[in-house]
Amino acid sequence: MKASKFTDAQKAFVLKQAEEGVPVGEICRKAGISQATFYSWRKKFAGMTPPEMRRLKALEDENARLKKLVAELSLDREMLQDVVRRKPLRPAQKRVLVATVQVDWGVSERRACTALLVNRSTCEGWDVNHKKVHRVYKELGLQLRNRKPKRRVKAKLREDRAEATASNDVWAMDFVHDQLATGRRLRVLTVIDTWSRFSPVVDPRFSYRGEDVVRTLDEACARVGYPRTIRVDQGTEFVSRDLDLWACQRGVTLDFSRPGKPTDNAFIKAFNGKFRQECLDAHWFMSLADAREKMESWRRFYNEDRPHSAIGYNAPILLMNDAGASGPLA
């Protein structure tokens, strides 16, 4: 679970407890902060209300912005004073001075050209600007191809989409993101059967590739059978050749969502919301093994004990067991 920042109201509440005589150690333990953080807050915000704390933060941001602006203007002024003494009149002299200013003052070419009022394209030796290039480009009817053409995937027609009528008829699959207590990112592959609401796998890893998705699906299908269709979005792992080949060999149809239409895969989005609220936001994960243990425990509770309103307040495993497992190409 990702640690959230304290709001101004929360900081004011912590400081008020200290003013009322509550021991600092007890306050820090309840708030989950160190004593150094507490004393830093008291030094900065003692006696302030939340609105006053927000105004102080706004003034600090404005002050930092003005200091940065003054520093930049002062640097430009010093650069120009150094340049004026050399009296650069011709364009060639100005181009030489641009390189000199970059070295002497440690600024970028863009900033040096801006300070000396030198066009960057002219400085680089181009006699035309970007507008003329664009005009000629359009007159010739030229078109730039994408560097990396978008991979085409085989997807079923949306007209063929029908609601699931049995277990292993339609699965839905997606990724959820979280992190360990150390801050290292986690990617969690979640899968759900849209008819029984049974979740065959919830698998966290530090990174996921197409071949990892295939390996996870094979392990899940070995336990509960192969689906006829899997609904996924157009993420890089789901449009990979590895998953495409796996689906073709096992007679599984990949049903891709339309770009910008998360409601096309609403079942997995709803499941991910419950997963985040009941598991991810409720636990700290100290390691990958700890995350797998806690997520697997929640998955078993979700499948075996948790009632689901969409299936008559039954546990998903009851509907999944009634259907039985199916093999590849079944």
Residues 246, 188, single domain; the answer is yes
Judge if 170 and 95 occupy the same domain. Answer: no
**Is the residue at 131 inside a domain?**
no
pLDDT tier, 274 (very low <50, low <70, confident <90, very high otherwise):
very high
Segment 103-117 shows an average pLDDT of 79
More confident residue, 105 or 232: 232
Residues 303, 207 share a domain: yes
3-state secondary structure the chain: CCCCCCCHHHHHHHHHHHHCCCCHHHHHHHHCCCHHHHHHHHHHHCCCCHHHHHHHHHHHHHHHHHHHHHHHHHHHHHHHHHHHCCCCCCHHHHHHHHHHHHHHHCCCHHHHHHHHCCCHHHHCCCCCCHHHHHHHHHHCCCCCCCCCCCCCCCCCCHHHCCCCCCCCCEEEEEEEEEECCCCCEEEEEEEEECCCCCCCEEEEECCCCHHHHHHHHHHHHHHHCCCCEEEECCCCCCCCHHHHHHHHHHCCEEEECCCCCHHHHHHHHHHHHHHHHHCHHHCCCCCHHHHHHHHHHHHHHHHHCCCEHHHCCECHHHHHHHHCCCCCCC
**Is residue 264 very low, low, confident or very high in pLDDT (cuts 50, 70, 90)?**
confident
Per-residue pLDDT, 318: 87
pLDDT at 190: 95
Mean pLDDT value across the chain: 82
Q: Is 155 among the domain residues? A: no
Contacts of the segment 279-282: beta carbons below 8 A, 24+ positions apart:
280/1, 280/176, 280/178, 281/1, 282/1
- pLDDT at residue number 300: 94
Q: Looking at the predicted structure, is the pLDDT value of residue 157 above 60?
A: no
Is 29 within the bounds of a domain? Answer: yes
Please give the pLDDT value at position 3.
46
95 shares a domain with 182: no
Residue 265, domain CATH:
3.30.420.10
pLDDT, tens only, 302-317: 999 988 888 888 888 8
Domains contained in the chain, number: 2
Q: Which of the pair, 128 or 200, is modelled with greater confidence?
A: 200
Comparing 177 with 73, the larger pLDDT belongs to 177
Top pLDDT among 271 and 321 is at 271
**What was the pLDDT predicted at 145?**
62
pLDDT at 247: 92
| 6: CB partners within 8 A, 6+ apart | 14, 31, 33
Burial class (CB within 10 angstroms; exposed 0-12, middle 13-18, buried 19+) of 235: middle
Question: Which pair of structure tokens corresponds to residue 310?
Answer: 């969409």
Query: For residue 326, what pLDDT is reported?
Result: 41
**Is the same domain home to 183 and 94?**
no
Q: How does residue 89 score in pLDDT terms, banded at 50, 70 and 90? A: low
Is 206 in the same domain as 280? Answer: yes
Instruction: Inform me whether the pLDDT recorded for 328 exceeds 60.
Output: no
Does 172 or 66 have the greater pLDDT score?
172
The least confident of 4-8, 89-93, 136-140, 325-329 is: 325-329
Tokens at 312, concatenated? 């008559």
Residue 328: inside a domain = no
Q: Is residue 3 part of a domain?
A: no
325 pLDDT above the threshold of 70: no
Is 176 found in the same domain as 315? yes
Q: Is the pLDDT of residue 295 over 90?
A: yes
Q: Does residue 153 lie within any of the structural domains?
A: no
| HEC secondary structure over 125-188 | CCCCCHHHHHHHHHHCCCCCCCCCCCCCCCCCCHHHCCCCCCCCCEEEEEEEEEECCCCCEEEE
Contact criterion met (CB below 8 Å) for 193 and 317? no
Number of Cα atoms under 13 Å in the Cβ half of residue 146: 4
Domain final position from 120, 145, 174:
120
Shared-domain flag, residues 88 and 172: no
Is 55 in the same domain as 109?
Answer: yes
Q: Do 115 and 169 lie in a common domain?
A: no
Q: Are residues 298 and 177 in the same domain?
A: yes
Asked if the structure places residue 233 within a domain, the reply is yes
pLDDT band at 147 (very low <50, low <70, confident <90, very high): low
Q: Which of 120, 135, 153 is the last residue of a domain?
A: 120
Q: Of 132-141, 172-181, 315-324, which gets the smallest average pLDDT?
A: 315-324
Q: Taking the CB of residue 277, how many other CB atoms lie within 10 A of it?
A: 10
Taking the C-alpha atoms of residue 202 and residue 296, their distance in angstroms, rounded to an integer, is 7
Q: Is residue 263 part of a domain?
A: yes
89 and 220 belong to one structural domain: no
- Within its chain, how far is the Cα of 119 from the centroid? 38
Report whether pLDDT(1) > 80: no
Task: List the domain range (segments joined by +) for residue 319.
Answer: 165-323
